[in-house]
Amino acid sequence: MNILAEKFRDNIIAVVPITLIVIILNFTLVPLSTPFLIRFIIGSVFVIIGLSLFLVGVDLGITPLGSHTGSTLTKTNKLVIVLVAGLILGFFISIAEPGLLVFSNQVDFVTQGDISSVSILISVSIGLAIMIGLGFIRIIYNLPLYRILLVLYLIIFVLAFFTSPEFLAISFDASGATTGVLAVPFLLALSIGITKMKKDSKSSEKDSFGLVSIASTGAIIALMILGFFNRNLNFAAHIPENITESTEIIKPFTSIVTSVFNESFMSLLPLIIILFILQTVSFKLTKRAFIRILKGFIYALLGLFIFLVGVNAGFMEVGSKIGYTLALLDHKVYILLIAFLLGLFTIAAEPAVSVLTYQIEDITSGYVKKKAVLIPLSIGVGFAIMLSILKILVPSLQLWHLLLPGYIISLALMFMVPKLFVGIAFDAGGVATGPMTATFILAFTTGAANATPSANVLLDGFGMIALVALAPIITLQLLGFVFKIRSRKGGI
Amino acid sequence: MENISLLSNFEMLCIIVNYGIGSKVLKYAKEEGILGGTIILGKGTHKRPLLEFLELTETRKELVLMIAPRKIINPALDALYEKLKLAKPHHGIAFVIPVTQFLGAGKYEYEAKNEIGGHNMTEYKAIFTIVDKGSGEKVVDAATMAGAKGATIINARGSGIHETSKLFAMEIEPEKEIVLILAQKEIVKPIITSICEELDIDQPGNGIIFVQEVHQTYGIR
């Protein structure tokens, strides 16, 4: 079986459950119109095909590029070069991230222009760049991840005191927006490229993870500081509803083709530039290896494009419709339950999740298997979506009521679990908030908020991503705890 | 100990299967009486022009290494051959290599009395040490002190009789490191002694060492 067939099989297993849930809902609680349902099924097929091609592209192109880049930088043995490269890489990867662009336009709109989208784009990219530089230093000097995260989150806590509740949600969501679908695999491979040069295998393994998590805090801190200097903001009360109940089947797909293609190409562009620059300057890859990486990029571009078309045209409206209809039901148990199930099953279809689990298997030689990571990750995200719906239904429940205890638990757990899992868990937070969450699940929660009179559509939409980023940090650290206990040798 | 070594020769069973099957192989093997095994991740290719153009030829493989007395290996291999359907194409391959010396598995210790062959042998033997992740470096240090000129560390995972816990019905196989050392016949003994002392290999659960004959070597001075 070749790798494409293997990925197809994995992704069919990942996407079919969520499709089944929607179909079952269609015949029970949420009857969908026929074009809706057909579009959703076409969308699912697109997601499966796109995801498979994308993941092959990551294996062939993006991971080798990241890993080569990491090794090349380390081999220079000059701190300045590593640091400057980290800053440049971080800045350009972040500024080209389509998710961040969409996000900053949203914030621009929500704050009615008080915080312009350009200022967000620049400040988040600077924040990310600094943190990636810091992440590099941490790997090179063997600084323990948990201490760095502790300091960074303490800074975030302090800043949070000076941040309005509305802006708090926005800041935490920024972390999800920057760690996009291409940035995550590249960052993961980059840190692996650096750490594999280490002689000490134990520390090399645990340092392989954590760069994504450090990078995400950069975005949060940057936005909080931005919010600190722009207080007394006005917030728009409503976002324009642009959900058109189109009855056509093909048109929603074709109408977004150009914009989605541009989006996919834009996010790949910085990586292509990095490849060409480094190939001429220092890689000197053989022609075959170079062409292989290029072919990988073609797979990744094609896959991402097909995936995004499927999700945007097939999933979003259905998500919003389900959220809206379920929130109108008298029994709120239904929506909470469905929220949990949607979270539980969509996460397996998130592209970066497959990349992370693959990397974990590779680094640990199969000791920490995909299934072992996926189960707690799914449960965590399920709870996160359920809590976001609960927050919409209960107006007195605020985002920080959930975030504060959540992060205190996460930070406390760091001291108890094997350090490998600290990195994996905090990285998974950034990984879980990919395009699937940002479209399908976001549409679901906004749909629910629209049907709930007491809810603030806008802010409840923002907080969801923050919760999705938090939940896996807790559940995966708990997994680490179980592994620690279970791996002890018996009978000696 | 003597009894076992008189009764049987030790052999190493190697099975290469698609990724994800390795743990299953180890589970079946344990049911057949093999005490433990180590799994290495690898990449395999097969030749097909179209797939080669599309760069889809590489697949992840798992290489499972297990050492046991021959009288256990033979029936176990037959059983595995059935269960893994190795007769069908693309289901994997299996082969057996003789082992000249084996220690550390507590239950059995073994050294071949009469070395097979005799002619056509090089001056070298291959010493494999399998220890918990992180201890590979100690093995290399100990071997270097005893005169070894170099070593290669391979990442792997595996489980023996002391590691048999489960998580969601999955066997947990802790991470290991395999240290491969090629050494001249005369210094094999001191190297092994040094590693044994340094890592307490004699104590159960601390790792295993086995030695294999090498027929030809290149690149070693």
Give the 3-state secondary structure of residue B41. strand
Q: How confident is the model at residue A1 (pLDDT cuts 50, 70, 90)?
A: low
What's the confidence (pLDDT) of residue A217?
A: 92
Across A190-214, average pLDDT:
84
DSSP string for A243-290? ------SSHHHHHTHHHHHHHHHHHHHHHHHHHHHHIIIII---HHHH
Residues of chain A with Cβ-Cβ distance to B55 below 8 Å are: 60, 292, 295-296
The C-alpha of B43 sits at a distance from chain A's nearest C-alpha, in angstroms, of: 11
Provide the mean pLDDT of chain B. 82
Q: Check whether B107 has a pLDDT greater than 70.
A: no
Cβ atoms of B85 and B21 closer than 8 Å: no
Whether residues B164 and A371 touch (CB distance < 8 A) is answered with no
Whether residues B162 and A490 touch (CB distance < 8 A) is answered with yes
Q: Which two structure tokens, joined as six digits, stand for A21?
A: 């849930």
Residues of chain B with Cβ-Cβ distance to A372 below 8 Å are: 167-168, 170
What's the confidence (pLDDT) of residue A140?
A: 86
- Class at the top of the CATH hierarchy for domain B7-98: alpha beta
CATH 3.30.70.120 in chain B, residue ranges: 7-98, 101-213
What's the confidence (pLDDT) of residue B120?
A: 53
**In chain A, residues 336-375 whose CB comes closer than 8 Å to chain B:** 361-362, 364-367, 369, 371-372, 375
What's the confidence (pLDDT) of residue A244?
A: 55
- A/B interface, count of CB pairs below 8 Å: 92
- B18 phi/psi in degrees, rounded to 5: -65, 155
Q: Which of B21, B46, B51, B55 to mutate to test the interface with A (most CBs of A within 10 A)?
A: B55
- Closest by Cβ to B134, choosing from A201, A482, A492: A201
Whether residues B167 and A202 touch (CB distance < 8 A) is answered with no
Across A215-229, average pLDDT:
89
The C-alpha of A286 sits at a distance from chain B's nearest C-alpha, in angstroms, of: 15
Whether residues B23 and A6 touch (CB distance < 8 A) is answered with no
Please give the share of chain B, as a percent, with pLDDT higher than 90: 19
Whether residues A491 and B161 touch (CB distance < 8 A) is answered with yes
Poorest-pLDDT segment among A40-49, A67-76, A150-159: A67-76
Residues of chain B with Cβ-Cβ distance to A359 below 8 Å are: none
**Cα within 13 Å of Cα(A296), Cβ side:** 25
Give a yes or no: residue A434 inside a domain. yes
What's the confidence (pLDDT) of residue B5?
A: 43
What's the confidence (pLDDT) of residue A413?
A: 94
- Closest by Cβ to B51, choosing from A2, A295, A375: A2
Whether residues A486 and B22 touch (CB distance < 8 A) is answered with no
Nearest to A347 by CA among A426, A466, A403, A428: A428
Residue type, B56: L
What's the confidence (pLDDT) of residue B106?
A: 56
Residues of chain B with Cβ-Cβ distance to A197 below 8 Å are: none
Give the 3-state secondary structure of residue B101. strand
Give a yes or no: residue A456 inside a domain. yes
The C-alpha of A474 sits at a distance from chain B's nearest C-alpha, in angstroms, of: 18
B205 φ/ψ sector (left φ>0, alpha ψ -120 to 50, else beta): left
CA distance A283 to B162: 45
Q: How confident is the model at residue B168 (pLDDT cuts 50, 70, 90)?
A: low
Chain B residue with the nearest C-alpha to that of A484: B174
* pLDDT tens-digit map of A250-271: 888 888 888 889 888 988 898 9
- Could you tell me which residue, A305 or A77, shows the higher pLDDT? A305
Q: Which two structure tokens, joined as six digits, stand for A29?
A: 């609680």
Q: Check whether B4 has a pLDDT greater than 70.
A: no
Element (H, E) at A408: helix A399-413
Whether residues A202 and B133 touch (CB distance < 8 A) is answered with yes
- Rg over alpha carbons for chain B, rounded to the nearest Å, is 18
Give the 3-state secondary structure of residue A425. helix
- Could you tell me which residue, A77 or A203, shows the higher pLDDT? A77
ipTM metric: 0.80
Q: Check whether A167 has a pLDDT greater than 70.
A: yes
* pLDDT tens-digit map of A89-136: 889 888 888 778 878 887 787 777 778 888 888 999 999 999 999 999
Whether residues B137 and A199 touch (CB distance < 8 A) is answered with yes
Q: How confident is the model at residue A239 (pLDDT cuts 50, 70, 90)?
A: low
Whether residues A295 and B173 touch (CB distance < 8 A) is answered with no
For the beta carbon of residue B109, count every other beta carbon within 10 angstroms: 16
Q: Check whether B127 has a pLDDT greater than 90.
A: yes
Give a yes or no: residue A134 inside a domain. yes
- Closest by Cβ to B175, choosing from A364, A375, A492: A364
The strand pairing partners of B183, in sequence order, are: B125
The C-alpha of A372 sits at a distance from chain B's nearest C-alpha, in angstroms, of: 8
Q: Check whether B2 has a pLDDT greater than 60.
A: no
What's the confidence (pLDDT) of residue A342?
A: 94
Whether residues A366 and B162 touch (CB distance < 8 A) is answered with no
Please give the share of chain A, as a percent, with pLDDT higher than 90: 37
Give the 3-state secondary structure of residue A422. helix
CB burial of A292-324 (b: ≥16 within 10 Å; e: otherwise) equals bbebbbebbbbbbbbbbbbbbbbbbbbbbbbbb
- Closest by Cβ to A486, choosing from B62, B172, B204: B172
Q: How confident is the model at residue B164 (pLDDT cuts 50, 70, 90)?
A: low
DSSP string for A295-342? HHHHHHHHHHHHHHHHIIIIIHHHHHHHHHHHHHSS-HHHHHHHHHHH
- Asked if A197 has any chain B CB less than 8 Å from its own CB, the reply is no
Across A400-429, average pLDDT:
92
Give a yes or no: residue A329 inside a domain. yes
B101-213: what fold? Answer: Alpha-Beta Plaits (3.30.70)
Chain B residue with the nearest C-alpha to that of A6: B59
Torsion of CA A126, A132, A138, A140, to 10 degrees: -120
What's the confidence (pLDDT) of residue A263?
A: 85
What's the confidence (pLDDT) of residue A92?
A: 86
- Closest by Cβ to A2, choosing from B22, B59, B157: B59
The C-alpha of B72 sits at a distance from chain A's nearest C-alpha, in angstroms, of: 23
The strand pairing partners of B152, in sequence order, are: B180
- Asked if A205 has any chain B CB less than 8 Å from its own CB, the reply is yes
Residues of chain B with Cβ-Cβ distance to A6 below 8 Å are: 59
Cβ atoms of A302 and A260 closer than 8 Å: no
Q: How confident is the model at residue B70 (pLDDT cuts 50, 70, 90)?
A: confident
Whether residues B164 and A483 touch (CB distance < 8 A) is answered with no
Q: How many domains does chain A have?
A: 1
Whether residues B163 and A205 touch (CB distance < 8 A) is answered with no
- Asked if A200 has any chain B CB less than 8 Å from its own CB, the reply is yes
Domain span at A270? 3-230+250-486
For the beta carbon of residue A258, count every other beta carbon within 10 angstroms: 9
Give a yes or no: residue A237 inside a domain. no
This prediction's pTM: 0.88
Chain B residue with the nearest C-alpha to that of A201: B134
Residue type, A15: V
Q: Which of A62, A293, A365 to mutate to test the interface with B (most CBs of B within 10 A)?
A: A365
What's the confidence (pLDDT) of residue B3?
A: 39
DSSP string for B119-142? SS--SEEEEEEEEETT-HHHHHHH
Whether residues B56 and A491 touch (CB distance < 8 A) is answered with no
- Could you tell me which residue, A297 or B159, shows the higher pLDDT? A297
